[in-house]
Amino acid sequence: MKLLSYNVNGIRAALSKGFASWLKATEADVICIQEIKALESQIDTTVFDELGYHHYWFSAQKKGYSGVAILCKKKPTNIVYGSGIEHMDFEGRILRVDFDAVSIMSLYLPSGTNTARLDYKFQFMDEFQAYINQLKVSHPNLIICGDYNICHQPIDIHDPIRNKNTSGFLPEERAWLDQFMKSGFIDSFRLLNPEPHQYSWWSYRANARANNKGWRIDYALVSTPLKAQIKRSFILPEAKHSDHCPVGLELNLSK
């Protein structure tokens, strides 16, 4: 199974930049999308039908904001829209599809752009951890793909010193992500790619992408029972439909 995760920063904008032809070339089995910024009714979904994808959309109640989606070649056995936690689901941040061998979630964790949103981010993280702890009991083979809006380690950010007080690299955020991974998840990219200077998001300011002054805030976290099935993990910085780029994972589910 080839799995991709991509914060597209607006699915309609990404489609206007060649997203569909890029997606066709990837031959991905599943793609988790974040920040779709649209209702399903506002998207020309026929392009995904033509590419052979089943597609599922979970939008925020607020128009033009947040939202997640999952595209998959094989029809899932079950689709779960949201978490059942009202404030999370109001912003369209969690969508899950279940297959026989694995469950896959598209997650868009809030950013802490100001004091109020940072407080909300911590509330979300705490409640999300409790939700996942419970979910893993019934769905132990779980992959949570998405934009976590947190850099885990200094290697994951271009300037850890000057960003130490910036949301996305705060000690408390990093500690939460560290603890979340230790609760039973593997950072699939770092497992196989120890090299520095590999990022998934760049600011639009100051020519950051051209100078590779980025942050790695997008992850495909794999539950520990699936560790032996991780075949390959990668980042695709050449895909430029967004200020993020896709992260990817290949699993050998025949083992």
- Whether 147 is a known active-site residue: answer yes
Query: In which domain, by residue range, is 41 found?
Result: 2-251
Question: What is the rounded distance in angstroms from the CA atom of residue 26 to the CA atom of residue 29?
Answer: 9
| Per-residue pLDDT at 132 | 98
The count of domains in the chain is 1
Catalytic residue among 147, 156, 187, 218: 147
Residue 247 per-residue DSSP state: E
Contacts of 150 (CB under 8 A, 6+ apart): 109, 168, 169, 173, 174, 176, 177, 217
Nearest partner of 4 among 247, 252, 198, 250, judged by Cα: 247
Q: What is the pLDDT along the chain (255 residues), one digit of tens a residue?
A: 999 999 999 999 999 999 999 999 999 999 999 999 999 999 999 999 999 999 999 999 999 999 999 999 999 999 999 999 999 999 999 999 999 999 999 999 999 999 999 999 999 999 999 999 999 999 999 999 999 999 999 999 999 999 999 999 999 999 999 999 999 999 999 999 999 999 999 999 999 999 999 999 999 999 999 999 999 999 999 999 999 999 999 999 964
For residue 86 the two structure tokens come to 């009202």
Q: Which residues have CB under 8 Å from 161's CB, separation 6+?
A: none
- Give the domain CATH number at 155: 3.60.10.10
Closest CA to 191 of 165, 221, 151: 221
Q: Name the 3-class secondary structure at 29.
A: coil
